[in-house]
A and B are shown apart, each in its own frame.
Chain A
Amino acid sequence: MSALENRQTFVQRMLFQGFVILVLAAMLALTVNQFRGERLPWVGDFSASDGGDAAHDDGTTISLAEARTLFDADQVQFVDARSMDDFEAGHIRGALNLPWLEFDAHIEAVLPELRDDVTIVTYCDGEACHLSKDLARSLKDMGFVKVKVLVNGWSIWRDAGLPTAEGAS
């Protein structure tokens, strides 16, 4: 067999194997999913994750639309739970930076700035980001009553073209 033929058969074999592997994996996956207790639908509904998050709303989250309304009426104090670097690179205009991971180091400086006459809205970046939720819980424990979380706040605020700023707090 010539070298060229060798290569052709190698590629053919590789593609054939790859295809069978994929079919096998898909069959296994869908069969197991069909018979497991907590079945995952083939097509998921992620519409809730644009900020409204009705499915997971335990009363602590706020939608982008609500946050915007409060912002326009100057009835909101945004608190950015991300790191100082991320904050300086860009944040919601008027937000204070209180990095959750360095909470103790920053809280004393931030506390006097924090308006308690309006709704405090914490945010970070990414659907899964827990910083804003942990920060909100902590602020509530400290006695702040109106504290909400804007899930995936930085991304959805920026993507919506709403006012942002750069630089330190």
Chain B
Amino acid sequence: MIRQRIDTILRILLGIIFIYASLDKIVHPKAFATAIHNYQILPDDLVNLAALILPWLELVIGALMLANRWVPGALMWINLLMIIFAGSLIFNLLRGVNVYCGCFSTRIQEADKATMAFSVSRDLLFLCASLYLFVRVFKNDPPPSEDPISV
């Protein structure tokens, strides 16, 4: 019972986080493109497409998590994205490129290693939550009727 409550809370939290993270980027795609370009990971030709599609992907999966629909598909993306986000930050930390993460806001700020380390920790925390939820959903599949997470 408690575990199911935790599942529900995590599902809603992740949904809210992803929707919140998407909004500013949807409004300011150009600024988000600059943020992605700063990571110096994607080829230049793919930067704008990623800046256009990624925020909508976040919005759609956030909405699905909140609505408790298509949770396996949404969770697959959340896990994948969190691995990519945390991975790119860690990659840049290690090679000494200071990037402002552009995680929640496209407003460009100066990034130092402490800020980046904070962003990495936050991403890894979200990743833990989404991995946990993914395992729970997988184990409970097909969900019993009283299960709070539906397919």
Contacts and interface: CB of A to CB of B under 8 A. Distances in A.
Partners in one complex: yes
A10 B141 contact: yes
Given A42-B49, A46-B47, A126-B38, A21 B111 contact: no
A151 to B, nearest CB: 12
B52 A40 contact: yes
Given A6-B141, A13-B72, A33-B29, A128 B38 contact: yes
A142 interface: no
B56 to A, nearest CB: 4
Contacts of B76: 14-15, 17-18
A25 B110 contact: no
A111 to B, nearest CB: 23
B110 A130 contact: yes
Nearest to A20: B73
Given A21-B60, A24-B60, A126-B38, A16 B111 contact: no
Contact of A129 (B74, B75, B98): B98
Classify the interface of chain A: helix, strand, loop or mixed.
helix
B96 A42 contact: no
B70 interface: yes
A28 B108 CA distance: 25
Interface string B96-135: 1111100000001111110000000000000000000000
Interface in B37-94: 37-38, 44-45, 47-49, 51-53, 55-57, 59-61, 64, 70, 72-77
A131 B110 CA distance: 7
27 contacts: A10-B72, A14-B75, A17-B76, A18-B76, A20-B70, A20-B73, A21-B64, A25-B60, A28-B60, A29-B56, A29-B57, A30-B53, A33-B52, A40-B48, A46-B44, A47-B44, A83-B112, A86-B98, A124-B110, A125-B98, A126-B98, A128-B35, A128-B38, A128-B109, A130-B108, A130-B109, A131-B110
Interface of B: 26, 29-30, 33-35, 37-38, 44-45, 47-49, 51-53, 55-57, 59-61, 64, 70, 72-77, 96-100, 108-113, 138, 141-142, 151
Top 3 nearest A-B pairs (CB, nearest first) are A17-B73, A44-B48, A14-B72
